[in-house]
Amino acid sequence: MIRLTEIKLPLDHDENAIGQAIINKLNISPEQLHSYNVFKRGYDARKKSAILLIYTLDVEVDNEAQLLSSFEKDQHVKVSPDTNYKFVAHANSSIKERPVVIGFGPCGLFAGLVLAQMGFNPIILERGKEVRERTKDTFGFWRKKALNTESNVQFGEGGAGTFSDGKLYSQVKDPKHYGRKVITEFVEAGAPEEILYVSKPHIGTFKLVTMIEKMRARIIELGGKIRFSTRVDDIHLD
Ligand SMILES: Cc1cc2nc3c(=O)[nH]c(=O)nc-3n(C[C@H](O)[C@H](O)[C@H](O)COP(=O)(O)OP(=O)(O)OC[C@H]3O[C@@H](n4cnc5c(N)ncnc54)[C@H](O)[C@@H]3O)c2cc1C
């Protein structure tokens, strides 16, 4: 797969413009272009009267090696990096011990999910309640000032930020593409597909609750277990 960067098109470009831009950039015939995928879409709004969309595209074409060598000096035509998530291990089916994850916020959710995907049947301990119950408690506090100290805007399934609009961008450098794994899982759980490529992705208010439920169901389906209303106060090591 070849990655093309800095493909600029007008804001109101039509459906075929991306394919045509690839053909023009690589100087190939339409038959040579098999498929493409938008990896990222940003904006150049410096000229208000001519706003541009800037694409990073992964394209499948005939004669990939030959094209790459003829564009060797062009920094905007390179081999697409492998952004697939690599699991660090897979559990042996005879394994008896189960890893324990404390907290079911974003960190615990992904630790639990990845452990479950690797076959480790994690047990997740969360002091708060499951997200729908937690939503009632949180709105109870906002509307009636009734605070549940274990189930509120901070504590419970989904962690802090569950009742936000889910902004997903950060300034963290991500050379191993871990963010891609997170975003792919979110899309699988029902987030809008455009979060895969827009430059400042956000999920949208109130979508997180349903997504968290789906991700919980996936962990359970893969052999994980989540214990709500279970606060960890101490750890005893034998
Ligand atoms: C209102 C709000 C809006 C936000 N909006 C965004 C946003 O749009 N985009 C963004 O990227 N970030 C946002 N954030 C920040 C984001 O939510 C946090 O960075 C993130 O939640 C941290 O994840 P975490 O898993 O490390 O911790 P937490 O989310 O705090 O999760 C920890 C979990 O552990 C549980 N827990 C704590 N102690 C124990 C214990 N002793 N035993 C068992 N369980 C325990 C808690 O109940 C909680 O569920 C927002 C935060 C808030 C408060």
- C-alpha gyration radius of the chain: 23
Indicate whether 74 and 106 sit together in one domain: no
What the block records as the tokens of 173 is 């450098």
Residue in 171, 168, 220, 219 with CA at minimum distance from that of residue 191: 168
Q: Using one digit for the tens of pLDDT, what is the confidence trace for 112-164?
A: 999 999 999 999 999 999 999 999 999 999 999 999 999 999 999 999 989 88
Asked if residue 137 has its Cβ within 6 Å of ligand 1, the reply is: no
Contact 156, 147 (CB under 8 A): no
Indicate whether 42 and 104 sit together in one domain: no
Of 17, 44, 79, which closes a domain?
A: 79
Q: Does residue 158 belong to any structural domain of this protein?
A: yes
Indicate whether 109 and 11 sit together in one domain: no
Residue of minimum CA distance from atom 29 in ligand 1 = 159
Q: Does residue 177 belong to any structural domain of this protein?
A: yes
Indicate whether 67 and 141 sit together in one domain: no
Angle CA 210–214–215, to nearest 5:
120
Q: What is the pLDDT of residue 73?
A: 97
Spatial separation of the C-alpha atoms in residues 121 and 142, rounded to whole Å? 36
- DSSP conformation letters of the chain: -EEEEEEEEETT--TTHHHHHHHHHHT--GGGEEEEEEEEEEEE-SSTTS-EEEEEEEEEETTHHHHHHHTTT-TTEEEPP------S----TT-----EEE--SHHHHHHHHHHHHTT---EEE-SS--HHHHHHHHHHHHHH----TTSSSSSSTT-TTTTS--B-------TT-HHHHHHHHHHHTT--GGGGTBSS-B--TT-HHHHHHHHHHHHHHTT-EEESS---------
Cα of 199 from ligand 1 centre, angstroms: 23
Rounded to an integer, the average pLDDT of 93-118 is: 96
Indicate whether 41 and 107 sit together in one domain: no
Residue in 100, 101, 102, 123 to alter for ligand 1 test, most ligand atoms within 8 A of Cβ:
102
Angle CA 12–13–19, to nearest 5:
160
Please state, as a whole number, how many other Cβ atoms lie within 10 Å of the Cβ of residue 171: 4
Q: Does residue 93 belong to any structural domain of this protein?
A: no
Q: Does residue 206 belong to any structural domain of this protein?
A: yes
Q: Does residue 86 belong to any structural domain of this protein?
A: no
Indicate whether 130 and 63 sit together in one domain: no
Q: What is the pLDDT of residue 234?
A: 97
Residue of minimum CA distance from atom 31 in ligand 1 = 105
Indicate whether 111 and 9 sit together in one domain: no
The CATH number of residue 42's host domain is 3.30.70.2700
Spatial separation of the C-alpha atoms in residues 53 and 43, rounded to whole Å? 5
Q: Does residue 84 belong to any structural domain of this protein?
A: no
Cα of 138 from ligand 1 centre, angstroms: 14
Rounded to an integer, the average pLDDT of 163-178 is: 87
Rounded to an integer, the average pLDDT of 64-73 is: 96
Cα of 126 from ligand 1 centre, angstroms: 12
Indicate whether 16 and 116 sit together in one domain: no
Asked if residue 204 has its Cβ within 6 Å of ligand 1, the reply is: no
The CATH number of residue 109's host domain is 3.50.50.60
Spatial separation of the C-alpha atoms in residues 109 and 90, rounded to whole Å? 18
What the block records as the tokens of 8 is 């600029």
Contact 157, 131 (CB under 8 A): yes
Indicate whether 114 and 217 sit together in one domain: yes
Cα of 221 from ligand 1 centre, angstroms: 24
Q: Does residue 92 belong to any structural domain of this protein?
A: no
What's the structural domain count of the chain?
2
Structural domain including 50 reads 2-79
Indicate whether 66 and 109 sit together in one domain: no
Indicate whether 118 and 216 sit together in one domain: yes
Residue in 100, 107, 149 to alter for ligand 1 test, most ligand atoms within 8 A of Cβ:
107
β-bridge mates for residue 154, sequence order = none
Give residue for tokens 């389906």: 221
Indicate whether 66 and 138 sit together in one domain: no
Q: What is the pLDDT of residue 164?
A: 86
- Classify the complex by whether its ipTM is higher than 0.95, answering yes or no: yes
Q: Does residue 179 belong to any structural domain of this protein?
A: yes
Q: Using one digit for the tens of pLDDT, what is the confidence trace for 200-226?
A: 898 987 789 999 999 999 999 999 999
β-bridge mates for residue 79, sequence order = 2
